[in-house]
Structure 1
Amino acid sequence: MTIAHADDARVVVYSRPGCHLCETAEDSVAEICAETGDTWARVDITTDEDLTSRFTEQVPVTFVDGSQHDFWRVDPVRLKRALARSRG
């Protein structure tokens, strides 16, 4: 599992503590990134007022290469496809 700083990661999961959907999404992202060799990061929205306001009940929210990809659930096939496509 490669966890990077959010600014350096290909995949970023915005989440909050105690969120079971967030834990599931983070596990999926970690597994997929381990397979693909891509980096990922977790960002706790509760540490930032703007993020809390922006994402409120949508967490987890997944970004790939800086663009929003999913929220609530991670579709492994779709995420793998996005990571492969972004590589060129």
Structure 2
Amino acid sequence: MIRLRLYTTLGCHLCEQLEAVLATLCAERYRLERVEISGDDELVACYGVRIPVLVDEAGQELDRGMDPGRLAAWLSARGWLDEAAWRQLQEQLSGESAPKTAKGATLRGGRRYLG
């Protein structure tokens, strides 16, 4: 099992986004230790403007890791990326597999197209 550490703070929506994408893209079982930085001035100085920061067991960091592409590359470099899940997420993000809406319209990128 992989052990990861996430430097975060209460109410960080970017951290929540990273956790959701990590759960989707990581092919290995992992244990995530969340480290709250707000109560420690040193942690705030180190991570405050870079959260979310994901750290592997070797101490390698991915700061501002909420971007799915950067997270996928970080996981891939370690052999932990679920390639099929990544392809599916890329399709969803690009709108290629957008769900159909009523009367033949399609939804892509939050916009509805007719025909």
Of the three residues 15, 20, 35, the one matched with 2:13 is 20
- After superposition, the C-alpha distances for 1:8-58 in whole angstroms (9 at most, x for unaligned) are x6321111111111110122223444x311222211111222111111121
Of the candidates 53, 64, 79, which is equivalent to residue 84 of structure 1? Answer: 79
Query: For 2:31 and 2:43, how far apart are their aligned partners in 1?
Result: 21
Distance in 1 (alpha carbons) for counterparts of 2:23 and 2:7:
14
Structure 1 residues 47 and 29: CA distance shift in structure 2, 3 A: farther
What SS is found at the alignment partner of 2:79?
helix
User: How big is the alpha-carbon RMSD for the aligned residues of Structure 1 and Structure 2?
Assistant: 2.4
Larger radius of gyration: 2
Q: Which has the higher contact order (CA 8 A, sep 6+)?
A: 1
Whether the 8 Å contact between 1:64 and 1:83 is mirrored in structure 2 is no
Q: Normalized against structure 1, the TM-score is what?
A: 0.66
More helix by proportion, 1 or 2? 1
Residue 38, structure 1, aligned to residue 33, structure 2: no
Q: Does the residue aligned with 1:77 lie in a helix, a strand or coil?
A: helix
After TM superposition, the score normalised by the length of structure 2 is 0.54
Q: Which residue does 2:99 correspond to in 1? A: none
Aligned-pair identity in percent equals 27
Following TM superposition, the consecutive aligned residue runs of length 4 or more in structure 1 with deviations greater than 4 angstroms are none
